[in-house]
């Protein structure tokens, strides 16, 4: 789960799940296009709260240059301490993945 600089405010860091990689075609949720092919050097990221998340459905594909770190655990608040598991909701898998 990457930590990246917000495309709208580089001083702000956001944590989102990677849903699609470059070359993948993804069906968006409320983005200006219904389907997007993720361009070279970009990823498609989404938050866990669909429709209530500032993510690629709001700002589009994210440049790999904005990746900052990788989140591995939730530490705060203490009652939510846990290791983050890489997970891609089945309904959010890319429609097509280019072969390399």
Across the range 21-40, mean pLDDT stands at 93
Give the pLDDT band of residue 86 (cuts 50, 70, 90).
Answer: confident
Note the pTM of the prediction, 2 decimals: 0.79
Residue with tokens 């309904």: 91
User: How far does Cα 28 stand from its chain's mean position?
Assistant: 12
Tell me, yes or no, whether 57 lies in a domain.
yes
Give the torsion through C-alpha atoms of 36, 93, 7, 50, to 10 deg.
110
What CATH code is carried by the domain that includes residue 46? 2.10.109.10
CA distances from 95 to 15, 28, 49 (A): 23, 11, 21
* Number of compact structural domains in the chain: 1
pLDDT of the residue at 51: 67
Tell me, yes or no, whether 89 lies in a domain.
no
């Amino acid at each position: 789960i990457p930590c990246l600089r917000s495309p709208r405010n580089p001083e702000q860091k956001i944590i989102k799940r990677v849903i699609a990689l470059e070359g993948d075609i993804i069906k968006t949720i409320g983005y200006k296009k219904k389907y997007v092919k993720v361009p070279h050097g970009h990823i498609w990221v989404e938050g866990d709260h669909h429709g209530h998340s500032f993510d690629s459905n709001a700002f589009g594909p994210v440049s790999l240059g904005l990746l900052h770190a990788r989140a591995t655990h939730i530490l705060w608040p203490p009652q939510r301490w846990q290791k983050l598991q890489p997970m891609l909701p089945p309904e959010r898998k890319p429609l097509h993945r280019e072969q390399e």
